[in-house]
Structure 1
Amino acid sequence: MALGEDEASNIPICQKWVIPMVNEMLLDDTNVISVLLVDTEEWRHLLIDYMEHGKLLDDPKHCSKIRQRAPRFLYYKGTLYQRSFKEVLLRCLGEEEASQAMEEAHSGIDGAHQSGPKLHFQLKRMDYYWPSMVKDCLEYAKMCQACQFHANFIH
């Protein structure tokens, strides 16, 4: 419907925002809790920041630790690698990638539900690395329900 030149129409305007402005929130006497989702600091980011940009944390202990560890790592095309003692480059994994790699190596196509040390050895052979690798492999093997169900009973 089009209005002519001589016709008028009233349009109501809402003066209240659905989401209150910051100033209104500060003036209210209500308790407001804001939640900000922050990504957890991954162990790889500290090394990458140091190797790419020379950035270090303010803590002197962390600075010396990162400086000591950095020569054993290589950052190439967006991927961090660790040089093993045999000069093999091991791809550094984050938390989610590590759990996926453990699941695949333990109970995937090639997995034979190995124990923790064997799982760690197999992941190293697959050229993967993360700092808590041994501990994570031991815990993963202990938590596998199929392994616990079919384990040898000690009499």
Structure 2
Amino acid sequence: MYFPRSPRCTSKLIRGEKETDDKSAWTLYVDGSATVERSSEGLILSSPDGFTIQQAITFTFKETNNQAEYEALLSGLRLAESLGIKSLVIYSDSQIVVKQTNGEYIAKDPKLAQYQVMVRSILKTILGTTILQINREENSKADELSKLVQNTSDLSSSVYFKELRAPNTDRAEILCISSPDNWMTPYIAYLKVGTLPEDQNKARYLKYKAARFFLEDDQLYRRTFSASTLKCVDPDEADYYPWEVHEGICGDHLAAKAPAYKIIRQGYYWPTIHADVVAYVKKCSKCQKFSNVPK
């Protein structure tokens, strides 16, 4: 049974036999595990010719089961990205992770929403990615790897053991604030410590624009007259919201600037929101195929 396609990945629910059309694609099995005593993950990355990398990763911090599943997926994607893989089939037994990545479920939990933004950011660099949900029995090897960390003496020489000391979301928040390409950086620097550009014209312009912004818990917000306070988002999140509003689970393929106003009404902002949304709508393949043609 096939589900609607996401612009960056495709999801199929597999109840038994696994099917893939691309015989040259790498395969990635991921599984996360969280109990009262420990949290860990396991992943298996295999090439078409049989070369296999196995990793067993333990956490020094507590995670929920869904968060552990996301950590496993992120570790596998980063490994694939570092190897320059361009075609990848991912197998996971987590319904939440698969359907949120596919766009069928909305990540309402703030922590899972952070993971989802990071996953979509990495998926941009790996073309031809497919994510499939499989039964737990079919993911038993990755599940065994996630539990091997309880007894490191059981690890064979072909398994790489790692230790994760902090959640990936914690590192993402730090990078988000310090990124030189982030449009929010000048505003945060000025509002936090009073830093201004050396050029007087640019400094005057920044002070004028910064009057509409304020910081709360190191998060930048924008004041508005016609709407509630808006949360400022980074480029990775700004890339996700147009897709979600236009053709995600609640999207109805609105044209022109309507999706931009829907995003603003939900409380999000970035400077080029209108231009980005209009550009995204123009590139929507479904709109090109099925929308009404004006006379």
TM-score (norm 2): 0.38
Question: 1:54: how far off?
Answer: 0.5
One of 210, 217, 220 as aligned partner of 1:80: 220
Structure with more of its chain in strand, by fraction:
2
Larger Rg: 1
Q: Secondary structure at the match of 2:291?
A: coil
TM-score, length-normalised on structure 1?
0.71
Instruction: Indicate whether 1:154 and 2:294 are aligned.
Output: yes
1:41 aligned partner: 181
List gaps (5 residues or longer) in structure 2: 1-178
Q: Which stretches in structure 1 are left out of the alignment for 5+ residues?
A: 1-38
2:281 is the counterpart of 1:119: no
Residue of 196, 218, 225 corresponding to 1:56? 196
Distance, in Å, in 2 between the alignment partners of 1:53 and 1:101 is 31
Give the drift of 1:40: 4.4
Contact 1:73 1:81 in 2 (8 A): yes
The C-alpha deviation readout for 1:112-138, integer Å capped at 9, x for no partner, is 011131111111111111111111111
Mapped contact 2:188–2:215 kept (Cα < 8 A): yes
Map of 2:78 onto structure 1: none
Aligned residues: 117
The answer to whether structure 1 residue 143 and structure 2 residue 283 are counterparts is: yes
Counterpart check, 1:95 vs 2:223 = no
Q: Is the 8 A contact 1:116 1:140 kept in 2?
A: no
- The one-letter amino acid paired with 2:228 is V
Moved over 6 A (4+): none
Percent identity for Structure 1 against Structure 2: 30
**Superposed CA RMSD:** 1.4
Which structure is richer in relative contact order (CA contacts within 8 A, separation 6 or more)?
2
DSSP 3-state at the match of 2:253: coil
Shift of 1:85: 1.0
- Sort the Cα spacing of 1:143 and 1:87 in 2 relative to 1 into closer, same or farther, 3 A: closer
Change in 2 beyond 3 A, CA 1:87/1:146: closer
